[in-house]
Structure 1
Amino acid sequence: MKYKIFLLFIIFLINVNAQEKLKVGVLAYGTVNWELDTLKYYKLDKKNGFDLEVVKLASKNATSIALQAKEVDIIVTDWLWVNTQRANGKNFTLYPYSRSNGTILVPKNSKAKTFLDLYGKKLGVAGGPVDKTWLILRAYSKQKYGKDLADLVKPTFSSPPIIYKNFLDSRVDSAINFWHFNAKLKAKGAKELVSIKDVLSELGVKKDIVFIGWTIDRKKAMQKPELFNSFIKASHEAKDVLLNSDNAWDRLRTGMKAKDDKVYESLKAGYRAGVIKKFDKENIKELKKVYNILLKEGGKKLVGASTTLDKKTFWEYK
């Protein structure tokens, strides 16, 4: 009898301490790993009542496929993808991960002051003809100068690493790239031709915007909102660690592949600049403006079947 009571007590303890597992699918060498590594190292998943498993995948397409196949619970992607999937009947939702956005970079010795100074020159664009930053900058150019940026420059579309290399080798005169490649270029002296904040302000967008976020099946999130919210809370806590602790970055340095101190510090500063402290209805209101700009500039090639920004595209974290 005593043995049975003891056994039941042990089973009770196991059930109490059991923590539900969350699988997050990420690019094997993506910058998201810095935050997830920090989250795991400081046991912020355990603290918030879940067990995080990081599943490293080979490409962005692989992450979206894994989410749709239910091989992972969460991925990082952009809200345009989520919105398009919702228009196609898929029930995904997103909570912002980072507000880091790109702009046009020019070499440190460039005399260009405005887009007009780029006339006839080569502009490298990472992400293709419907890259969101490229489209926003085209809209800005039309409004500011009455000329489409696509008509001013000679755009060259390629992958982020190739655009990065072409910029260093002076094969392009300016570049639009992902934030971490921009951070590396800034460490080597590259400078912004225009700030994205000024671009957005010119277009009537007054708040910081985000494009990427933690994405999950909304039905699953609604069934266990406390679980997804606990993950978001742990994500915020990991960000706080990286905002306030240089030691936390020192242990990440090898994985960051920062070849020198300038690159290391620039990557650190770039990540910190992208940290989101708050996301609410006002931010969503501003993103509706951004959506309308992108809809006009990118059309169906970018937004697919969607014609509006679905309010359920964004998860309301409480």
Structure 2
Amino acid sequence: MPQPTAPRARRTPIRATCALLLLLGGTAAAQKTLNVGLQAGGTLSWVTFAIQKYGIDRDLGFRLNTTTYASKDATRVALRAGDAQVVVDDFLEVTLLRQKGFPVSAIYPFSLITGGVIVPAGSDIRTVADLKGQTLGATSLTDKTLLILRAYTRRQGFDVQSAAKVASVSSPLMEQFMNRGEIQAGIPFWHHGARMVSTGKFRTLISSADLLRGLGLPQNVPLLYLVARTDADPATLRLFLKAVNQANERMKTDPAFWTAMLDANLYALPDRSQLPALRTQWAAGLPKRWTAADLNATLLLTRRMIEVAGPDVVGLTRLDTRAFNTSYRP
């Protein structure tokens, strides 16, 4: 009698198997998430808005979650608690956070030092030396550009802190104070400065780039960094940096994005004719690289600031380079 034959096992075609594996892999990648903490009014919200608007996170295989906090201190609390895995903070604060026990490191520059000292267009102030005896508005005595200006003027033979009167003025109010003659010069945030100069009523006395050049430093020194928890997934962080880079490129060339961003109330710009100036200044502050040389420039700048203003004003005695990680790339 013929022996019964065992039923043949069904074979899944190789192509179907590969497709299934790719599908499963894509699903796993899509489940990667990153929680980013945004400061209300901060420009990181512009970039995350672009990432989500263009679907860049989806295309790269991760999900971006954002939460907006009322202040920078609130973002730091969220970072320490683990509610946020990435925030933006300045180069001095990264060291201070580490000293306070925050498990974080700066993984990539977010914005360069831009802006500068602004004066009325018709002002008699023509050089930095003309600031002597004048009232200079700054957001605080620890404002980074003010500290850089102090280091610069020390090289010119005087300290603007003592040679002029430095008044604490909110950045959005500097235009009004100058119009009333209560201050003769100001150091507004870069976006307020760009808007002021675009009206033709104000001009830049000296840019931050020229101040850095006068100190013998590169002009592309980072001010703000993307700061991440050290327990965040490195692969997801790299995807996020890639998303930030792609979003920046799209933002440079898409006028419709900026209209949508303003319509979403991510920035208050009462006069939209100032938008081109805002976009130009924003693009000028984008970092172009992240290397040990950039970190060294930040280290040298911090030393100059501590030398001129003292550790009590700057807030630390030295920059902890271990708080910075140059291995990340977009």
Question: What TM-score does the superposition give when structure 2 sets the normalisation length?
Answer: 0.85
Q: Pick closer, same or farther for the CA change 1:305–1:192 going to 2, 3 Å.
A: closer
Q: 1:100·1:270 contact (CA, 8 Å) conserved in 2?
A: no
Q: 1:308 to 1:53 in 2, by over 3 A?
A: closer
**Runs of 4+ with >6 A deviation:** none
The SS at the match of 1:211 is strand
Q: Report the Cα offset of residue 160 of structure 1.
A: 2.1
Number of residue equivalences: 304
* Shift in alpha-carbon separation, 1:176–1:237, aligned structure 2, 3 A: same
Matches within 5 A, 1:157-176: 157-176=168-187
More moved, 208-217 vs 160-169: 160-169
Shift of 1:154: 1.0
Residue 240 (str. 1) matches residue 249 (str. 2): yes
1:313 CA drift (Å): 2.1
Report the RMSD for the aligned CA atoms in angstroms. 2.2
Aligned 8 A contact 1:98 1:275 in 2: yes
Match of 2:97 among 82, 85, 90: 85
Deviation digits for residues 86-133 of structure 1, max 9, x if unmatched? 23443311121111423110011112111221222111101x111111
Whether 2:312 is the aligned partner of 1:297: answer no
Equivalent position of 2:277 in the other structure: 266
Structure 1 match to 2:143: 131
Matched, 1:101 2:101: no
In 2, are the aligned partners of 1:101 and 1:196 still within 8 Å (CA)? yes
What is the aligned partner in structure 2 of residue 5 from structure 1? none
After TM superposition, give the deviation of residue 162 of structure 1 in Å.
3.2
2:98–2:104 contact (8 Å) kept in structure 1: yes
User: Is 2:43 the partner of 1:43?
Assistant: no
Q: 1:16 to 1:65 in 2, by over 3 A?
A: closer
Q: 1:302, CA displacement in angstroms?
A: 4.5
Report the secondary structure of 1:39's partner residue: helix
Q: Does the alignment pair 1:25 with 2:34?
A: no
Aligned to 1:209: 221
CA–CA separation in structure 1 for the residues paired with 2:221 and 2:77: 26
Task: For 2:111, give the aligned amino acid.
Answer: S
> Based on CA coordinates, which of the two structures has the bigger radius of gyration?
2
Q: Which moved more, 1:250-259 or 1:266-275?
A: 250-259
Question: Aligned equivalents of 1:232 and 1:199: distance in 2?
Answer: 29
- Partners of 2:195 and 2:255 in 1: CA distance: 19
Matched residue of 2:78: which SS? helix
Deviation of the 1:264 alpha carbon: 1.3
The AA in structure 2 aligned to 1:76 is V
Q: 1:177 to 1:143 in 2, by over 3 A?
A: same
Deviates more, 1:98-107 or 1:303-312: 303-312
Greater shift, 184-193 or 34-43, is seen at 184-193
Verify: 1:226 aligned to 2:239, yes or no: no
> What is the aligned partner in structure 2 of residue 148 from structure 1?
159
Would you say the 8 A contact 1:44–1:238 is kept in 2? Answer: yes
Structure 2: which amino acid aligns with 1:183?
A: A
Q: State the TM-score, normalized to the length of structure 1.
A: 0.88
Q: Which amino acid aligns with 1:252?
A: M
- Name the aligned partner's letter for residue 109 of structure 1: G
SS at match of 1:277: coil
CA distance in 2, matches of 1:158, 1:121: 15
In 2, distance between residues paired with 1:26 and 1:150? 33
Determine which of 68, 77, 84 is the counterpart of 1:65: 77
- CA 1:50–1:168 in 2, change beyond 3 Å: closer, same or farther? farther
d(CA) in 2 for partners of 1:246, 1:179: 20
Contact 1:57 1:63 in 2 (8 A): yes
SS at match of 2:206: coil
Judge which range, 12-21 or 190-199, deviates more: 12-21
Letter in 2 for 1:248: F
Determine whether 1:120 maps to 2:151.
Answer: no
